């Protein structure tokens, strides 16, 4: 056990699985770094730094730099997964899914069903998402609801370094195609993370806080925000449960419903655009399955239905903040 | 030409099986027995068979929406295919894929593909697997002239080159992307496109099995020996429309009748092998009769096979969930 950043936790998961299983490869733009350049041997591990150190240990045959051709290399990762490798492909920003989405949702996500169950596609697509870096409209989106919509894909959103390592090892060992979403603001967060490999199962929510008055369901960076709110309001006598579902597909609906049954109040915090996102999905679930348990209308905390703005003043207004979560919790608690 | 008698008989049998299969699907579709969208490969047999005769169990192919011929050429079971096209439970894909998604990974057939240009990136991945695991395998991407204009295909040319992958790109140019002439829709030439990406490119007459076979043999050997990707531009014709039900108003009067008479791959093969005294016409006629019987059986079995059940709706989405 030692203190590791979110970035280091994922890096360690990749390295440990590559040591364990020779069919695990990683690929992406600059994943080794410097291919064909004068400083080729001084691999920098990509813009995210998550793959740093892998090329020196595993070589360029298993740590592949790619041209900027997401359709080709994400598709190649799909084809490699269907024929015997376990590729972990980095789609640098999830916003770039627009240029390779066919390979993810029409190919990887459908092989198993279309081919009558005979295909196995153990693919991981790692990708950075989320607002907060002044990166503007094409480098800041969440987009996980779009992947969640596709049968055949699994969708993972770690909320801390510990979660990231265990979920990444699970993703690599999983036999289905997995979209693994890394919030860019979390990369430097640190916490105690076991040195040895471990897995966290998909579809099992984590209760980061347990309380009796309000259930907060949150994803990714919204989990630490919600924890912060729960800790503050606890001192005022408003006791919150915070549910981190960890995966949006599969979704641990049982735990969400049990928590709502206990508290009778629900706030869903989702950094994704507000139409057809996880907040609407979970609100519909609870309205349908647990309406009788509700003591107050459900509240959703989301950004507005706009692209992510650039100007710091605007982006700060856009992002769901602890203050907005707190206001929603107070509203449902009638406090 | 390095083909044995057995090879020639197999080549003819595979081509005849594709022709008979497709002609029958055409007829049965018109009668209303087959659901969905169907795109037929009749007329293009020499390409799929000429290429796949050079492949073995290590090798993978990815196909197009016009995939029946590639499936048969790569060894998929025609009866299982017919049941799949009819949407039956023991079809090759359990009735969940249909004509546009027939696959048999155990035969190295990575699927017909409903997305034009869907296959080339997948083939780069299959070739990467072969290279990484050192299986000695090669991977072949079949695309049409329409698919040759997709970004996925052109990106795959580049990726296969820079990763030095054992890939053969086979552009089957039947003259029409749906109804749009390839003469209009393809900028430059396929051969020069290949050369621009640093790969050898060749152009062959796709009505001539032997021309395709020779070009593919060189390309497969090139890939297998570690020299990387190459491209074959196969010029051929399709006997039917883009899809079944296509009135083909875009084709010239008498065009299809003429090409069936003058440029039929099976007829050209028969003439060549009999004139060269490699095979007897009687043997070929015998194969024709056997294939007809096989396809008759395939249709009869497909018609009476049970459909999937309600329980099948929910299976095969995930390995675990």
Phi, psi for residue A244 in degrees, rounded to 5: -105, 100
Sign of the Cα torsion B186, B187, B189, B193 reads: negative
Helices (H), chain B: 5-31, 45-52, 68-73, 78-85, 119-133, 151-162, 182-185, 190-196, 209-224, 255-262, 265-275, 281-304
- pLDDT values of chain B reduced to their tens digit, one per residue, 321 residues: 579 999 999 999 999 999 999 999 999 999 999 999 999 999 999 999 999 999 999 999 999 999 999 999 999 999 999 999 999 999 999 999 999 999 999 999 999 999 999 999 999 999 999 999 999 999 999 999 999 999 999 999 999 999 999 999 999 999 999 999 999 999 999 999 999 999 999 999 999 999 999 999 999 999 999 999 999 999 999 999 999 999 999 999 999 999 999 999 999 999 999 999 999 999 999 999 999 999 999 999 999 999 999 999 999 999 999
Question: What percent of the residues of chain A are helix, what percent strand, and what percent coil, each to the nearest 5?
Answer: 40, 20, 40
Flag whether the pTM goes above 0.90.
yes
Residue B191 has a pLDDT of 98
Task: Please report the pLDDT score of residue B217 as a whole number.
Answer: 98
Residue B279 lies in a domain: yes
The verdict on B97 touching A (C-beta cutoff 8 Å) is: yes
Q: How does residue A45 score in pLDDT terms, banded at 50, 70 and 90? A: confident
Catalytic residue at A139? Answer: yes
Number of Cβ pairs < 8 A linking chain A and chain B: 158
pLDDT digits (tens, 9 = 90+) for A147-206: 999 999 999 999 999 999 999 999 999 999 999 999 999 999 999 999 999 999 999 999
Question: Does pLDDT of A287 surpass 60?
Answer: yes
User: What is the rounded distance in angstroms from the CA atom of residue A80 to the CA atom of residue A87?
Assistant: 7
Checking if the pLDDT of A242 tops 80, the result is yes
In a domain, B292, yes or no: yes
Token pair listed for B313: 């709706």
Domain boundaries, chain A: 2-193, 206-333
Domains in chain B: how many in total? Answer: 1
d(CA A16, CA A197): 7
**CATH code for the domain in which residue B85 is found:** 3.40.50.970
Q: In a mutagenesis test of the A interface, which of B37, B80, B128 is the best target, namely the one with the most A β-carbons within 10 Å?
A: B128
**CATH T-level topology, domain A206-333:** Rossmann fold (3.40.50)
Average pLDDT, whole number, for chain A? Answer: 96
Which residue range forms the structural domain that includes residue B261?
5-314
B157 in a structural domain: yes
Burial grade of B30 (CB within 10 A; 0-12, 13-18, 19 or more): exposed
Q: Do B115 and A102 touch (CB under 8 A)?
A: yes
pLDDT of residue B1: 53
Best residue in B81, B119, B122 to probe A by mutation, most A CBs within 10 Å?
B122
Name the pLDDT band for A37 (thresholds 50, 70, 90): confident
Query: Which residues make Cβ contacts (< 8 Å) with residue A92, sequence separation at least 6?
Result: A28, A29, A46, A47, A48, A127, A128
**Hey, what are A179's tokens?**
């979209």
Q: What is the pLDDT of residues A207-229, one digit of tens each?
A: 999 999 999 999 999 999 999 99
Q: Is B45 on the interface with A (CB under 8 A)?
A: no
**Cβ contact B110–A82 (<8 Å):** yes
Whether A265 and A215 have beta carbons less than 8 Å apart is answered as yes
Q: What residue of A is the nearest CA neighbor of B165?
A: A76
Q: Do domains A2-193 and A206-333 have the same CATH topology?
A: yes
**Domain at A2-193, CATH from 3.30.830.10, 3.40.50.970, 3.10.620.30, 3.30.470.10:** 3.40.50.970
Residues in chain A with CB shorter than 8 Å from the CB of B128 are 25, 76, 79-80, 85
Confidence at A42, pLDDT banded by 50, 70, 90: low
Spatial separation of the C-alpha atoms in residues A65 and A73, rounded to whole Å: 10
Rounded distance, CA A218 to CA A321, Å? 12
Buried b (16+ CB within 10 A) or exposed e, B233-257: bbbbbbbbbbbbebeeeebeeeebe
Query: A330, exposed or middle or buried, with CB in 10 Å at 0-12, 13-18, 19+?
Result: middle
Asked if A250's CB is within 8 angstroms of B125's CB, the reply is: no
């Amino acid at each position: 056990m030692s203190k590791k950043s979110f970035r280091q936790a994922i890096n360690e998961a990749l390295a440990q699985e590559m040591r364990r299983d020779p069919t695990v490869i990683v690929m992406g733009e600059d994943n080794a770094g410097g291919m064909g350049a004068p400083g080729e041997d001084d691999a920098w591990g990509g813009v995210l730094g998550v793959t740093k150190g892998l090329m020196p240990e595993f070589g360029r045959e298993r740590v592949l730099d790619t041209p900027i051709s997401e359709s080709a290399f994400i598709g190649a990762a799909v084809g490699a997964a269907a024929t015997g490798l376990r590729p972990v492909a980095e789609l640098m920003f999830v916003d770039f899914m627009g240029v390779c989405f066919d390979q993810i949702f029409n190919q990887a996500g459908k092989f198993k069903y279309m081919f009558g169950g005979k295909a196995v596609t153990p693919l991981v697509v790692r990708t950075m998402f989320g607002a907060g870096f002044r990166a503007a409209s094409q480098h800041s989106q969440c987009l996980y609801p779009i992947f969640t919509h596709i049968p055949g894909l699994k969708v993972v959103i770690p909320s801390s370094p510990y979660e990231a390592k265990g979920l990444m090892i699970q993703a690599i060992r999983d036999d289905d195609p997995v979209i693994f979403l890394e919030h860019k603001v979390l990369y430097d967060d640190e916490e105690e993370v076991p040195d040895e490999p471990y897995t966290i199962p998909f579809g099992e929510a984590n209760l980061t806080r347990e309380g009796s008055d309000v259930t907060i369901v949150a994803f990714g960076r919204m989990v630490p925000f919600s924890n912060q709110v729960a800790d503050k309001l606890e001192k005022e006598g408003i006791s919150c449960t915070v549910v981190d579902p960890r995966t949006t597909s599969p979704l641990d609906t049982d735990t969400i419903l049990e928590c709502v049954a206990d508290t009778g109040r629900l706030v869903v915090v989702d950094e994704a655009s507000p139409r057809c996102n996880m907040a609407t999905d979970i609100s519909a679930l609870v309205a349908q399955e647990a309406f009788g348990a509700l003591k107050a209308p459900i509240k959703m905390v989301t950004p507005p239905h706009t692209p992510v703005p650039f100007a710091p003043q605007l982006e700060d207004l856009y992002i769901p903040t602890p203050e907005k979560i707190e206001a929603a919790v107070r509203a449902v608690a009638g406090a | 030409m390095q083909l044995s008698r057995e090879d020639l008989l197999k080549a003819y049998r595979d081509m005849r099986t594709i022709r008979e299969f497709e002609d029958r699907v055409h007829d049965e579709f018109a009668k209303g027995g087959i659901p969905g969208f169907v795109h037929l490969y009749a007329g293009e047999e020499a390409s799929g068979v000429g290429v796949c005769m050079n492949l073995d169990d290590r090798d993978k192919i990815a196909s197009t929406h016009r995939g029946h011929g590639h499936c048969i050429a790569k060894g998929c079971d025609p009866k299982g295919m017919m049941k799949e096209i009819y949407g039956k439970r023991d079809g090759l894909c359990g009735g969940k894929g249909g004509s546009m998604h027939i696959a048999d990974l155990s035969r190295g057939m990575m699927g017909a593909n409903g997305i034009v240009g869907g296959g080339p990136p997948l083939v780069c991945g299959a070739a990467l697997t072969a290279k990484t695991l050192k299986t000695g395998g090669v991977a072949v991407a079949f695309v049409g002239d329409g698919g040759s204009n997709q970004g996925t295909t052109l990106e795959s040319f580049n990726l296969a080159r820079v990763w030095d992958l054992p890939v053969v790109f086979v552009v089957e140019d039947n003259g029409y992307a749906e109804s749009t002439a390839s003469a209009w829709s393809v900028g430059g030439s396929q051969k020069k496109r290949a050369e621009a990406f640093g790969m050898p490119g060749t152009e062959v007459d796709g009505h001539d099995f032997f021309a395709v076979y020779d070009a593919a043999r060189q390309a497969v050997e090139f890939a297998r020996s570690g020299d990387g990707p190459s491209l074959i531009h196969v010029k051929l014709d399709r006997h039917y429309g883009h899809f079944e039900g296509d009135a083909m108003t875009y084709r010239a009067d008498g065009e299809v009748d003429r090409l069936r008479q003058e440029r039929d791959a099976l007829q050209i093969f028969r003439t060549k092998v009999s004139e060269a005294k490699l095979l007897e016409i009687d043997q070929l006629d015998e194969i024709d009769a056997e294939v007809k019987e096989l396809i008759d059986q395939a249709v009869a079995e497909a018609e009476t096979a049970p459909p999937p059940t309600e329980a099948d709706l929910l299976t095969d989405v995930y390995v675990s969930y």
